[in-house]
Amino acid sequence: MLAACAGGGGSGGTTPATPTGSKAAPPTRSAPQSTPPDPVESALAGMSVEEKVGQLFMPVLYGTSASSESGENQARYGAGTPAKVIRKYRLGGVILFPQNVRSAGQVVDLTNGMQRAARGVPLLVATDQENGLVARMSTLMTDFPGAGQIGATKDPSLSRAVAAATGKELRALGVNLDFAPVADVNVNPRNPVIGPRAFGDDPKKVARMVSEAVKGFDDAKVAATAKHFPGHGDTSVDSHTGLPVIKHTRAEWERIDAPPFRAAIAAGVDAVMSAHIVFPKLDPSGDPATLSKPILTGLLREKLGFKGVISTDALNMGGARTKYDDGEVAVRAVLAGADLLLMPNDLPKAHRAVLAAVKSGRISEQRLDQSVTRLLTLKQSKGLLAEAPVASAEEAARVLRSSEHRKLAARVSGD
């Protein structure tokens, strides 16, 4: 762009003449505007293959502080403290369970300490806070009703309000990803694993509730996860211990199971969790959806157009481990399209297997980079790459079980 001329002193603002015999000065150009580096691209470019593989894994760690020595950590991971495990495997995330929880201040110290241990790229710190039956942080947080009760109100705005309040409390504790909402349509009264965790048995109603919940978590700047794809609502087997088979036709899947996931994607859901279920009409291989490329890549990515993070359900569950060992399960999940490998039964074995698969070319570096890019993009969207997250005990004390949140819980419950 040409630089503006200096203003003249005469009427009309004419430019002073160039002195006789002198050459006119060449027009000057402003310095080119440098494009700021993309944080995701910069982070990816700075990673080794080992660091990229570490980003895929999200185990449960043992202890109530980042420096807690635990025999369980030592036995499972070959490192005694959460901080040492994070550094050893260059983890991309961790998931919290009740054994990690004592008090609000303690959880804040734990999450801050784990974030410091991550050093380079901040962690996704996750938990299962669905409310109701599944509420890992229940000793600290507002006792909100579960999805079944929210669905019974027939008021989607309450779904958004509860998700926003839940997310606000989680973020105050240093948790930035919730494995919620449940997007399953519970059409089987004998379902042993979903039941009231779902918003109901009407696909359209569930879709509206899920969509609003996704928006509520986004309001709180906490990542939401729609689960369990392609739909765990019509099972009579618990995938924690067995491998359920869904007998819906493709048309039944489109009508019953798909609408809440379509709604979640339309609402901008950050992540979708796979189910350890066999769905023969979607993939006749007999592999669970978690290990199925036709389901995770063909259906979720290509047909539904989901561009975010695909998380496995916990890989220590029986439904994921009926056909393959712990290393092969992790490799096949990545090949199927998963980005986040949640709670592998044997982290060292799974990590070695994925790393070996990348080095041998079975998992291409391009495929690995796709997953890491999606994980980094999620972190960037929640502000984690711009500034290392630090939770505040004072903020947690102000937000947790606030009078506003307790009134909302009472309103949903009809009290």
Q: Which of 128, 202, 238, 240 is catalytic?
A: 240
Active-site residue 351, yes or no? no
Question: What count of residues does the chain have?
Answer: 415
How many Cβ atoms from other residues are within 10 Å of residue 316's Cβ? 18
CB-side neighbour CA atoms (13 Å) of 70? 20
Q: Which one is catalytic: 201, 313, 339, 346? A: 313
In angstroms, the CA 232 to CA 260 distance is 12
Q: Name residue, tokens 């979640």.
A: 264
Asked if residues 275 and 231 have their Cβ atoms less than 8 Å apart, the reply is yes
Active site residues: 240, 313
